[in-house]
Structure 1
């Protein structure tokens, strides 16, 4: 449940497959596959394209078939659980971060690094509040309540 790689440098709602297609991780696994290493496999969700080294769920498998059972095993893996634990620890990741893109990248990277430190030192989390991620669509993004943003000076006095 440790996070091994993070790429949060694409502003806005970039689709997973876009980020994957331009990632150095994809290039790494593609080169390994092309150099006859056919043993390395990655897991991805149905939003990713077909790659010889990327295992994605079957679309509409027949109930109780091998494909159906594969999808059950695939969906129960720790990937979604890890993201759920990360978002439960750092609730700011559940909503849109209203900062400059450069700052959002730093926030996400720091949250992932702190998550790994928590894993290393067995820092507990409240598993009752774990929110598993769903599809990355706009209706799943929680927006902050409508509020007027006010700037404050160093003394905490409104300007």
Structure 2
């Protein structure tokens, strides 16, 4: 939490991580291809990063057509937190975008319907100023491992392995 707090001028308090999903362009798989027919035909991961651009948790393997909230609710980290097997520090929160459901440990911005109050806009500004860490971490990952820009394999296990190997060598 301390490093998040001191990392930027306009930071959100009590943050231990930032959550989001990202998609990787893949060849259409031979089996279960229909699951990968989203608007871009992608393979996705969901990750939580810290303020030093390191991944704290990664959940891999869902088709890009799955909604972020569904992937989150099926992830081991979500199940661990909600069951009490994974404990967060007192008052700790994870920041996410509005695709994710609010909870006592997961905070998302107000949906901007064009009628946000000044306080709600400021809340969203501070949240996004901190949540940008996950976007930057994904950007660093893609820059370091160009293969992730298009994974040219057909077997889903191989796709997952390429991503996992890249993540393991990310440090």
TM-score, length basis structure 2: 0.57
- Structure 1 residue 101 and structure 2 residue 156: aligned? yes
> Distance in 1 between the 2:127 and 2:116 partners?
15
**Paired residue total:** 114
Q: Give, in angstroms, the shift of residue 64 of structure 1.
A: 7.2
Partner of 1:80: 135
Partner of 1:57: 109
The alpha-carbon distance between structure 1 residues 99 and 22, as it changes in their structure 2 partners (threshold 3 A), is same
Moved over 6 A (4+): none
Q: Secondary structure at the match of 1:49?
A: coil
User: Superposed, which structure 2 residues align to 1:2-151 within 5 Å?
Assistant: 2-32=54-84, 39-60=91-112, 62=115, 65-77=118-130, 78-95=133-150, 97-116=152-171
Higher strand content, 1 or 2: 2
The alpha-carbon distance between structure 1 residues 41 and 108, as it changes in their structure 2 partners (threshold 3 A), is same
Q: CA RMSD in A?
A: 2.6
Q: Deviations over 1:22-62 (max 9, x none)?
A: 111112222349x9x76231111111122222100111175
Q: Give, in angstroms, the shift of residue 103 of structure 1.
A: 0.6
> Distance in 1 between the 2:108 and 2:62 partners?
23
Rg: which structure is higher?
Answer: 1
The alpha-carbon distance between structure 1 residues 98 and 69, as it changes in their structure 2 partners (threshold 3 A), is farther
Where structure 1 has 5 or more consecutive residues not aligned to the other structure, the ranges are 117-159
> Distance in 2 between the 1:9 and 1:94 partners?
16
> Distance in 2 between the 1:84 and 1:100 partners?
25
